[in-house]
Structure 1
Amino acid sequence: MVKSVLLDEKFKSRELSNLLRWHNEPSKWSIDTTSSQLVLETDEETDFWQKTHYGFENDNGHFLYIKTNKNFRMTTKVKAMPNSKYDHAGLMIRHSKNTWVKSSLEYITPNLSKLGAVVTNRGYSDWSTQYVKDKEIDLYLRLSRINQNCYVDFSWDGEEWMQMRIAFLDLPDDSPIAAGLFACSPQGKDQTVRFDFLAIEELSDPNEAYL
């Protein structure tokens, strides 16, 4: 069961919640109070990735987060308007540059994108994906942390959820972790991203992560 609300940010005010902090704040961002959305544009060549396959280490993506040591469920609704290959945005939980998880829809070609999750442990990233034949869609994402376990889900309507990934995080059970929204443009810049909300709820029952 949900114990308490850790964050309920609906972007109705021009000021962010005082609980939120930036990792690599984007040069351009604002809150559109007319549509109640956080709107940002990505800076050039920003990404989160560690070593695997490509051999490079990038830790300069934009990340808006709170810190908590609780077990939680986090949800958002996001729409990205990509400009360049690999543009993506979504949800992230992060212990350090070597231990984190992100979920998003990543733009590949004008006809195909990859819906997936990247899990990074001990400084190495992996990427599980499935193809989606859209690039500018309203996507709901959900990411839950239960001790050392992470559960990643997505939804087209915010009601029916589909599991994308279950992963292990190499960190202490009660370790504080950052949780929030992220956006990246590994090969370009000026991807426009709109987030409708960020909700983070503490979980008292580990089985809630499966729902």
Structure 2
Amino acid sequence: MKVADISQGTWLNEPEMVKASAEGLFVTAKNHSDFWRTTSYGFIHNSGHALLNEFPQNTSVEASWVLDYDQQFDQAGLMIWSDEENWIKAGVEYADGAPQLGAVVTREVSDWSVAPVTDWMHKEVHLRMSRQDDALTIRARCAGPWQLVRVAPLDPQRSWQAGLHLASPTRSGLTVRFTSRAVGPRDASLHD
């Protein structure tokens, strides 16, 4: 993996505030920001924040951030984006009283999967998305080995962008400190 400029890219929905420092990229989400399409909730939201760069075939992107948020539906991680009906976000979302590692896969409607990671609070989280052929492999870690989060279908005929993601559906004031971004070749295999 090659370290990349953490602040490089184009914002899909400008956040409230962005500040770069030696400690990382501090980003404050706007109130009521989110990405979701229809399933169960019945609404469509395309107001979350993503700092996007090209995401070509057979490449990967990684990001890290400090998990220090604890309000309902606060979230940070990575997103890949084609258009409003085709995107995937993954990371840690605070839901139902705990930080939850998961992903939302959207192909016209959204599909959400989560698992609690309570011991990750106040630590640096690392997330990796690897694109190969018709699939996206999502892995995460926190002071340990990579663990598989999800393997999701990805239309190879579409153009995709990838980058840092955050949103705050229920409040104002969420600031996330992103600590790194890296890009490189796709993972060598699905299973190590």
* TM-score normalised by L of structure 1: 0.83
- Given the alignment, which residue of 132, 143, 149 partners 2:135? 149
Which residue number in structure 2 is paired with residue 9 of structure 1?
4
Q: For residue 198 of structure 1, what is the amino acid of its counterpart?
A: R
Q: 2:145 aligns with which of 113, 137, 160?
A: 160
Alpha carbons of 1:62 and 1:79: their partners in 2 closer, same or farther (altered >3 Å)? same
Please identify the structure whose Cα radius of gyration is greater: 1
Distance 1:99 1:161 in 2: 26
Q: Which amino acid aligns with 1:192?
A: T
CA distance in structure 1 between the partners assigned to 2:177 and 2:62 by the alignment: 14
Match of 1:177 in 2: 160
1:103 paired to 2:86: no
Could you state the TM-score of these two structures normalised by the residue count of structure 2?
0.90
How far has the Cα of 1:174 moved from its partner? 4.6
Q: Distance in 2 between matches of 1:95 and 1:38?
A: 24
In the TM superposition, structure 1's runs of 4+ consecutive aligned residues that sit over 4 Å from their partners are none
Partner residue, 1:126? 111
Letter matched to residue 11 of structure 2 = W
Percent identity between the two aligned chains: 29
Q: How many residues align?
A: 191
Distance 1:152 1:131 in 2: 16
Q: Give how far 1:96 is off.
A: 1.0
The equivalent residue for 1:196 is 179
Match of 1:76 among 60, 63, 88: 63
Is the CA contact (8 Å cut-off) linking 2:70 and 2:99 kept in structure 1? no
Amino acid at match of 2:64: K
Secondary structure, counterpart of 2:173 in structure 1: coil
- Choose the corresponding residue for 1:89, options 58, 71, 76: 76
